[in-house]
Amino acid sequence: MTSMAQREFSSRPISRAAAAIHWLVVLEVCWVLASLPGLVLLLLLAPDASNIPLVALALVPLGPATGAVVYSWRAFGDDGDPEPARYFLRGYRRCAWDVLRWWLPALAALTLLGINLTNLDAVTGPPALRTVLGAVSAAVGLGLIVAGGHAVVISSLYSLRTRDVARLSIYYLTAKPMASIGVAALVAVIVGAALGVSDWLPVLAAAPLIWLLLRGERPVRDHLEENFIDA
């Protein structure tokens, strides 16, 4: 009896690890398939500033796909169900439009900021003016990206109006600084991997990166559920 209990106990971590790997692989495949139109377009685009609007267009499918993976990872944390694809499809149906309603304006804003940054040489005036404009544009862009990290978690897990998602995402930039730093760190890892190793490394690691995002958003989720979400 004791031997059987020991075997059962020792098998649990192994079983949990196997389930996590299974979820990781399946959710990665689901994310890639849902993002495939945009990924193909990115593959065809040359790395040129004139293609910034097309890059934004290519990123459109990635928002709902990321939201569906966020939804799925939350379900794994709840019960470890062996069917991650089912959760992905459910999450995609549930949150795709909720994500797109802020994702599209955010991409449009980032597109304008990117165009401004790549055309600073056209600004007349002293060099200091261009430096200030560049720094402000970069700071606003980073703030939008970090707020987007909060927004994708909020809109994927909770049924809120789009304007409330936007307000809360901006609010949590400073209200939960550790969560915001975590999103910024993930952005740095993604950019570093893309520039230092391969553009496609973040794509192949999307599922674990989204898991890290969800983990880092725990302070945001706890505060949101305690103060803004009805039980």
Residue 149 and residue 189 in contact, taking contact as beta carbons nearer than 8 Å: no
User: How much is the pLDDT for 122?
Assistant: 75
Domain ranges of the chain: 2-227
CA-to-CA dists, residue 69 to 157, 187, 214, angstroms: 11, 17, 10
Q: What is the DSSP string of 77-146?
A: HHH--S-HHHHHHHHHHHHHHHHHHHHHHHHHHHHHHHHHHHTGGG--S-HHHHHHHHHHHHHHHHHHHH
**Prediction pTM value:** 0.90
Predicted pLDDT of residue 8: 46
pLDDT in tens, the chain (231 residues): 444 444 443 356 777 788 889 899 999 999 999 999 999 999 999 888 899 999 999 999 999 999 999 999 998 866 555 789 999 999 999 999 999 999 999 999 999 999 988 888 877 778 888 888 889 999 999 999 999 999 999 999 999 999 999 999 999 999 999 999 999 999 999 999 999 999 899 999 999 999 999 999 999 999 999 998 875
- For residue 46, the SS3 value is coil
Handedness of CA 109, 115, 117, 120 (dihedral sign): negative
Please tell me the predicted confidence (pLDDT) of residue 79.
Answer: 57
DSSP letter at 158 equals S
Task: Give the per-residue pLDDT at 101.
Answer: 97
Neighbours of 16 (CB within 10 A): 11
**What pLDDT, on a 0 to 100 scale, did the predictor assign at position 1?**
42
